[in-house]
Chains A and B, each alone.
Chain A
């Protein structure tokens, strides 16, 4: 359980974007309505050079969220101590407004697979992930947020629903949650459940940040729609509608637009952020 004296997550309830170095100059010139930025932790674990210089500069003007993609919190093996030390160094240096990671695994047998891989929701995985989150929060000296995955398949062995699994993780470890609304929509389409019912069951009071992103459309062997979380295009209308559904129930939250592949020119990403900003403006105060 997290020590109450630890630093909590304090991103503004405004629109943010995933930072891409090609947007550096334009962000400094014309960021509005973007109020904060998110970086992938692993891209800033070099010893110096342009990436860290840009990050230092941006952090003087924007709240920064550090989003890890390589810790493998759901891994069956112990967390990589070297990687955890690198995270501690980055978070200590930057003192970001938030740190988040994924309910997923990516490393096995010292192989990093560069993808967020799925987990069965069982008592055993719950206990293991709680231990890993406890360890991360203890090493970093702050609470973290944990993000729900995009699912393409289900595990026969799962005994927990995803919202209940996340609720229990947050209860046992004191961590907060990062609600990726696109991931909910993708998983709901792929696995035939109602995204609204997922949100109704989800502990919105634990949410410290919301993610949005674009997905691709494919089909499985039986012609069933199979959505793929690609972060390579605009957020689709049903996901914007699901964001409204969430915000009506949760109240204002920090809302981030992710765009990681086929990264567009700044005005395109800025327009997506403006849509998130408009959604936040619509919530009654």
Chain B
């Protein structure tokens, strides 16, 4: 009697399956509860990983509910790599698909924010440009493109995700009000910081990410939002060290 890893794996993730034959105690009695040690190790370690990965979701739903969700999630989406730092990529969509949670429509975006914070934390180091580098001819500046830090992340949401984040991490934060919010995450050194982007800021950054010049991206952002204030968004990027390169070669020719 041999137990292959496929059989072991299936029985491990599904407690309704019988313990595979061919596994014994010292007196060759069936392993029974001894097999449950492995089942338990897998379930408990992945449940803890879900709690650690999504502390705000855990706080919003309560640890008991989170245990239940993590148990369903780990069976539907076992980790696809040994890098537990990135565990839970499918969790936002998993939450979105849970009918029982449909009255909490903001949960998936809060989970996306927590994933983005973790990606930022582990992203490659980089050095932001000196703001003085922007003190050039306005025409040259408007024709320039930029490159962003690997640790920079952006999230656009129809929900007040930044307010929800503050309300659950800061002592005296105001209660979230219904509104759409865009978030910029910068990592000046080691700790990612979520900033609320002003109107049009996310349109401008998205256009820059797509390779548009600063000037063209400005027009794109104004078209999307007439109140767009380039200075305020630029200041957030510069303070967070999020712009790593200013490419001005287009006019150098």
Contacts from A to B (Cβ < 8 Å): 42-43, 45-53, 69-72, 75-76, 80, 82-83, 86, 105-115, 117-118, 120, 122, 152-157, 190-193, 218, 220-222, 224, 226, 228
Contacts and interface: CB of A to CB of B under 8 A. Distances in A.
B226 interface: no
B118 to A, nearest CB: 9
Interface stretch (B3-11, B129-137, B171-179): B3-11
Contacts of B23: 153-156
A161 to B, nearest CB: 13
B38 to A, nearest CB: 6
B105 interface: no
Contacts of B66: none
Interface string B135-161: 000000000000000110000000000
17 contacts: A46-B122, A48-B124, A49-B125, A53-B125, A69-B82, A76-B6, A82-B81, A109-B9, A115-B42, A117-B12, A117-B38, A152-B31, A152-B34, A153-B35, A156-B22, A156-B24, A157-B1
Contacts of B5: 75-76, 105, 108, 117
Given A50-B121, A192-B26, A222-B25, A106 B82 contact: yes
A194 B151 CA distance: 53
Given A48-B151, A86-B83, A122-B2, 18 more contacts: A48-B123, A49-B125, A50-B121, A50-B190, A69-B82, A82-B81, A111-B13, A111-B78, A112-B78, A113-B42, A115-B38, A117-B12, A153-B25, A153-B35, A155-B24, A157-B22, A191-B25, A192-B27
Nearest to A50: B190
Sorted nearest first, the 10 A-B pairs with minimum C-beta distance are: A70-B82, A46-B122, A192-B26, A47-B124, A50-B190, A111-B78, A48-B125, A153-B31, A48-B124, A112-B79
A36 to B, nearest CB: 24
Interface in B112-131: 121-125
Nearest to B24: A154
Nearest to A119: B5
A218 B37 CA distance: 10
A123 to B, nearest CB: 12
Nearest to A68: B82
A157 B46 CA distance: 30
B121 A49 contact: yes
Nearest to B125: A48
Contact of B24 (A46, A71, A82, A153): A153
A36 B84 CA distance: 25
Contacts of B65: none
B121 A112 contact: no
B150 A48 contact: yes
B32 to A, nearest CB: 4
Interface in B14-40: 22-29, 31-35, 37-38
A175 B35 CA distance: 30
A106 B46 CA distance: 13
B72 interface: no
B53 to A, nearest CB: 13
B117 to A, nearest CB: 11
Which among B28, B34, B151 has the greatest number of chain A C-beta atoms within 10 A? B34
A163 B40 CA distance: 27
A156 B20 CA distance: 11
B29 A117 contact: no
Given A75-B5, A112-B80, A43 B37 contact: no
Contact of B78 (A42, A113, A118, A226): A113
A108 B78 CA distance: 10
B80 A110 contact: yes
A66 to B, nearest CB: 14
B41 to A, nearest CB: 4
Contacts of B83: 42, 45-46, 70, 86
Contacts of B2: 120, 122, 155, 157
B81 to A, nearest CB: 6
Contact of B46 (A50, A82, A114, A152): A114
B26 A49 contact: no
A94 to B, nearest CB: 16
B145 to A, nearest CB: 23
Contacts of B123: 46-49
B187 interface: yes
Nearest to A70: B82
Nearest to B21: A156
A114 B40 CA distance: 11
Given A76-B4, A108-B5, A47 B122 contact: yes
